[in-house]
Amino acid sequence: MVLLGIHLSHGVGSVFQSFGWMNGRYQPMLRRLSVVYAVVVALGFIAQPIYVFLFARQG
């Protein structure tokens, strides 16, 4: 999942670059936004199996 997060962070940053939005003014904000998005997605994928392992084995 860490590799997925790194891959997504790079991919989202590349999308911003392709659209031409990665100029000096917005670059720091867009880089942070891509990292936050990647962390949220990776944590979502990590949380599902952990939840099932801890709470869904009630039977």
User: How far is residue 9's CA from residue 13's CA, in Å, rounded to a whole number?
Assistant: 6
* Average of per-residue pLDDT across 12-24: 92
Copy the structure tokens of residue 50.
């952990």
* Average of per-residue pLDDT across 14-29: 92
The answer on pLDDT for 57 being more than 90 is: no
* Average of per-residue pLDDT across 46-50: 94
Model confidence at 59, pLDDT cuts 50, 70, 90, reads low
